[in-house]
Amino acid sequence: MRILFRGLLTFPLAAALVVLSGCGGDGVKEGARGVAGSITVDGSSTVFPITEAMAEEFRREQPDVRVTVGVSGTGGGFKKFSRGEIDICDASRPIKDAELQMARQNKVDFVELPVAYDGIAILVNPKNTWCESITVEELKRLWEPSAQNKVTRWNQVRPNWPDREIHLFGPGVDSGTYDYFTGAIVGKEGASRGDFTSSEDDNVLVQGIAADELALGFFGYAYYEENKDRLRVVPVNDGNPQNGDGPIVPTVDTVKNSTYQPLSRPIFIYVRRESLDRSEVSLFIDFYLKNAPSLVSQVGYIPLPDEAYQLAHGRVARKVTGSVFAGGSQVGVSVQDLLKKESAAAE
């Protein structure tokens, strides 16, 4: 059931858990720590595993707070967020100008918190013997809009690859991973060919690539980590020796030291300023930032340096609103850049 409808299932499941925990919580006295209420989160499927893990752990500490985490893509999440319908938006790219404007119109202020680093992995089937690495140039030729219905065979990407069909898999257009990938590879956000299997649910992509010898696809590194035995990751060569020579495999280290470029990026949560006044939300965010270093790597992502979380903590405490990353994804934001931006915002 997980594959297609995880997004839909999350709600009833969470609701059921709430009912269960609510029953158990009746006897618990409202102590100093006991807070009740509900927190609604929606957005990126890439950030979902982190927030979901946080919500699960948080439930143990605060059984009377219900945290529901939805998955409708970063774009879908921001739409709801900027209308003020949810408290927290999971985002695998920074807020876009249009979304920022809509938030302003609806008087939604927010605090922007980078929570982890993620690499976008390029994946093929383990039976694929030919695709040992790929260049950014080749990825561009494969994914740009003009490739639509034209570049359809492996040997069109690299002549010594076999003359067989290529089956492409990627996240849907509401996904921040899609936005970032098209921005980083094609050069324009949201511009790609349209003849590929697209799904907002990364598990569908895993299933598709794992069962298709001719497949090539991309999605967040963590989903690869979870399915290592069913997929093969392809090293990417950006042709820039400054980011490490030759093809680079995405790993915790190469993402952290910014050699896996241009497909590493920070991922975020956006918290509504008004919601921070509610004690359950501010407690959840404190919990989130405090536990990020350990939990983030547990679910397959790359944690930021501790300093970054401390800076973020400071901004939450002082409720510094606005975005320093706004204007869509920036390609090649390294950890150092991020820290610089963070500390600038903290002043």
Partner 1 sequence: MRLLPKSFRANKRERGIEYFLLFCASLSILTTLGIVGVLLFETIDFFREVSILSFFTDTQWTPLFAQKHFGIWPLLTGTILISGIAMLVALPAGLLSALYLSEYAPDRVRRMVKPVLEILAGVPTVVYGYFALLFVTPLLQKFVPGLAGFNALSPGIVMGVMILPLVSSLSEDAMQAVPRSLREGAYALGSTNLQVSFRIVIPAAFSGITASFILAVSRAIGETMIVAIAAGQQPRLTGNPLVPIETMTAYIVQVSMGDTPVGTLEYKTIFVVGMMLFLSTFVLNILSQRLRARFREVYR
Report the interface residues with partner 1, using CB under 8 A.
Answer: 1, 3-4, 7-8, 72-73, 75-76, 79-80, 145-146, 148-149, 165, 167-168, 172-174, 188, 190-200, 204, 207-215
What one-character DSSP code corresponds to residue 93?
A: S
CA nearest neighbour of 216 among 119, 152, 124, 120: 124
What one-character DSSP code corresponds to residue 303?
A: P
Q: How far apart are the first and last CA of the chain?
A: 48
Q: Output the six-digit token pair for 206.
A: 């895993």
Q: Given the complex with partner 1, which of 230 and 313 has the nearer CB atom?
A: 230
Q: How far is the CB of 343 from partner 1 (least distance, A)?
A: 34
Q: Given the complex with partner 1, which of 158 and 167 has the nearer CB atom?
A: 167
Q: How far is it, in rounded angstroms, from Cα 108 to Cα 71?
A: 21
Q: How far is the CB of 34 from partner 1 (least distance, A)?
A: 35
Q: Output the six-digit token pair for 79.
A: 């739409």
The answer to whether the CB of 138 falls within 8 A of the CB of 122 is: no
The answer to whether the CB of 210 falls within 8 A of the CB of 125 is: yes
Q: How far is the CB of 197 from partner 1 (least distance, A)?
A: 4
Q: Given the complex with partner 1, which of 187 and 246 has the nearer CB atom?
A: 187
Q: Given the complex with partner 1, which of 118 and 201 has the nearer CB atom?
A: 201
Strand partners, 42: 89
Q: Given the complex with partner 1, which of 149 and 242 has the nearer CB atom?
A: 149
Q: How far is the CB of 186 from partner 1 (least distance, A)?
A: 9
Q: How far is the CB of 327 from partner 1 (least distance, A)?
A: 20
CA nearest neighbour of 258 among 218, 302, 215: 302
